[in-house]
Amino acid sequence: MALLTYRDALNAALREEMALDDRVFLMGEEVAEYDGAYKVSRGLLKEFGPLRVVDTPIAELGFAGIGVGAAMVGLRPVIEFMTWNFALLAIDQVVNSAAKMRYMSGGQVGCPIVFRGPGGAALQLAAQHSQSFESWYAHIPGLKVLTPGTPADAKGLLKSAIRDDDPVVFIEGEMLYNVKGEVPEGEHLVPIGKAEVKRAGSDVTLVCHSKTVTVALKAAEQLADEGISAEVVDLRTIRPLDTETVLNSVGRTHRCVVVEEGWAFAGVGAQIVDVVQLHAFDELDAPVLRVTGADVPMPYNKHLERAAKADPAKVIAAVKRVLYTGI
Rounded Cα gap, residues 91 and 81, in angstroms: 11
Q: Is 68 in contact with 97 (CB distance < 8 Å)?
A: yes
Is 129 annotated as catalytic?
Answer: yes
Contact partners, residue 74, CB within 8 Å, separation at least 6: 23
* Catalytic residue (one of 129, 172, 174, 209): 129
Rounded Cα gap, residues 293 and 121, in angstroms: 10
Nearest Cα to Cα of residue 144 among 125, 163, 130:
163
> What are the beta bridge partners of residue 187?
none
Q: Is 83 in contact with 119 (CB distance < 8 Å)?
A: yes
Please calculate the CA angle 319-323-327 and round it to the nearest 5 degrees: 85
Is 60 annotated as catalytic?
Answer: yes
Strand, coil or helix: 170: strand
Rounded Cα gap, residues 280 and 26, in angstroms: 43
* Catalytic residue (one of 16, 17, 29, 60): 60
51 CB burial (10 A radius; 0-12, 13-18, 19+): exposed
Residues assigned a catalytic role: 60, 129
